[in-house]
Amino acid sequence: DSGVTQTPKHLITATGQRVTLRCSPRSGDLSVYWYQQSLDQGLQFLIQYYNGEERAKGNILERFSAQQFPDLHSELNLSSLELGDSALYFCASSPSSGGGYGYTFGSGTRLTVV
Amino acid sequence: QQPVQSPQAVILREGEDAVINCSSSKALYSVHWYRQKHGEAPVFLMILLKGGEQKGHDKISASFNEKKQQSSLYLTASQLSYSGTYFCGTVTGNQFYFGTGTSLTVIP
């Protein structure tokens, strides 16, 4: 157990629907990062939050949004889902906002859009 | 801005050594290394900060040459458990980028 909790582990939904992925960071970590990994592809950075504030944005579609709450858990909202959104979505956390520490990853949410 | 790793894939026999390289076109503040097994989350191996340091983790070590904007991961006396995809991660400014990945397979 890495200490980063992601729910749900699996999600199957239809095109056009909206889903919410949840992440609880490791205790003491203030930064949360969201990554998308399509089949046998690399890790695409979506967005980072640090202590409730958006810190960096990557290749996140306009249909996707995220937020970090006062208790530091984060949610990634995916709307108007398309088949191409099927992927593994990872959340990672770290103590700081920069790259001075390693990232701890959750076990991921596997999203299947049918 | 995504760091490029080489080789893309490598197959080793147990006990053999391997080197994975990571190159960036941008000045680097630090380099991370991760290993990901199929269908699982990436696992942090080590971080190297500016200063050309070399770190070790069991029989896995790494070096960081900030002038060349490169890092290398060394796996010695490979074990079956080393199989997976290795990613470097680089910090440039306040942005973090994962590398293109290297698939490593260790066979008996």
Residues of chain A found within 8 Å of residue B53, distances taken between Cβ atoms = none
Asked if A36 contacts A55 with a C-beta cutoff of 8 angstroms, the reply is: no
Q: Any chain B CB within 8 A of the CB of A43?
A: yes
Asked if A51 contacts A72 with a C-beta cutoff of 8 angstroms, the reply is: yes
Pairing status of strand A64-68 against strand A53-57: unpaired
- Cβ of A43 within 8 Å of Cβ of B100? The answer is no
Q: How confident is the model at residue B101 (pLDDT cuts 50, 70, 90)?
A: very high
Model confidence over B2-60: pLDDT tens digits? Answer: 899 999 999 999 999 999 999 998 887 889 999 999 889 999 999 888 766 666 667 89
Q: Which two tokens stand for residue B92?
A: 């440039």
**Which pLDDT does position B51 carry in this prediction?**
67
Residue contacts between A and B (CB atoms, under 8 Å) = 58
Q: How confident is the model at residue B66 (pLDDT cuts 50, 70, 90)?
A: confident
Model confidence over A10-67: pLDDT tens digits? Answer: 999 999 999 999 999 999 999 999 999 987 678 898 999 999 999 988 889 999 999 9
| Closest chain A residue to B33, measured at CA | A102
Q: How confident is the model at residue A6 (pLDDT cuts 50, 70, 90)?
A: very high
Per-window interface: A 44-103 vs B, CB < 8 A: 45, 55-56, 88, 90, 92, 97-103
- The span from the CA of A5 to the CA of B79, in Å, is 29
Q: How confident is the model at residue A97 (pLDDT cuts 50, 70, 90)?
A: confident
Place of tokens 């290398």: B72
Asked if A47 contacts A33 with a C-beta cutoff of 8 angstroms, the reply is: yes
**Which pLDDT does position B35 carry in this prediction?**
95
Q: Is the pLDDT of residue B94 over 90?
A: no
Between B86 and A57, the more confident residue is B86
Query: Sheet of B70-75: strands edge to edge?
Result: B4-6, B18-23, B70-75, B60-65, B54-57
